[in-house]
Amino acid sequence: MDAIDRNDAYTVTSLDDLAKIYAKPLPHVATKETDHITEVGRAFIAASPFLVLGTSNGTTIDCSPKGDMPGFVQLLDDRTLLIPDRPGNNRIDGMKNLLVNPKVGIIFMVPGSNETYRVTGSATISTDPELLKRFEVRGKSPRVVMVVAVEEAFNHCPKAFVRAKLWDATARPSGAPTHGDFAAARDGKDAAYAREYNEKYAERLKTELY
């Protein structure tokens, strides 16, 4: 496929171009964001076991999944979120980004719900023992807690989830690559390697979640 010409007549380059394509949002949509977490937003976050955290250092962008039991994100007040960082792969791409640029974008999700709750703001990384203690699980505390100062929050319409049938198991395609498949491709190995990798990883998860 030929490279895309980003300067051709079909490339959108201005707000005026967008205005010709998209209608203005309805008033209740355009003004639905708040500068704090509302009571209904608080309830959604309390029910959410999963979020995607977007960060950028100004050059590269990272989207990182974060998950735990529902309510794993706590509110210090209606303008401050606390997000524990549980064990992962230690790439800490998002953490590195925050040291350069504190801006974050967060989407909270609840399994079975087509609604999402979006929050943007600025985050700092804390090792405050009192904050770490709040998130102790099985006697283990997170290594850091991200403290997010909320700047904007609002619920997002469910159309994308409805189209994707995200929570409909009968609509899920088979054959999606596993963690082991990605490892085998990375290491130049075969399907047997992938199966063994998955089996060992499943065992590791029993002791490495916290």
Rounded distance between C-alpha atoms, residue 167 and residue 181, angstroms: 23
Please name every residue paired with 44 in a beta bridge, in sequence order, or none if there are none: none
What's the pTM? 0.87
Q: At what angle do helices 191-208 and 179-187 cross, to 10 degrees?
A: 120
Residues 38-96: tens digit of each pLDDT: 999 999 999 999 999 999 999 999 999 999 999 999 999 999 999 999 998 899 999 99
Rounded distance between C-alpha atoms, residue 102 and residue 99, angstroms: 7
Residues 40-50: tens digit of each pLDDT: 999 999 999 99
Query: What element of type H or E holds 184?
Result: helix 179-187
Rounded distance between C-alpha atoms, residue 73 and residue 146, angstroms: 10
* Residue with tokens 């989407």, as numbered in its chain: 107
What is residue 2's predicted lDDT score, i.e. its pLDDT?
Answer: 62
Rounded distance between C-alpha atoms, residue 190 and residue 173, angstroms: 22
For 119, phi then psi, to 5°, come to: -135, 135
What is residue 147's predicted lDDT score, i.e. its pLDDT?
Answer: 98
Q: Can you say whether the dihedral through the CA atoms of 80, 132, 117, 92 is positive or negative?
A: positive
Which tokens hold the place of 148? 């997010």
C-alpha angle 172-65-42 in degrees, rounded to nearest 5:
100
Rounded distance between C-alpha atoms, residue 4 and residue 186, angstroms: 28
- 140-163 residues labelled b (16+ CB within 10 A) or e (exposed): ebbebbbbbebeebbbeeeeebee
The DSSP-derived string for 37-91 is: --HHHHHHHHH--EEEEEEE-SS-EEEEEEE-STT-SEEEETTEEEEE-----S-
Which residues does the chain have with pLDDT short of 70? Answer: 1-6, 29-30
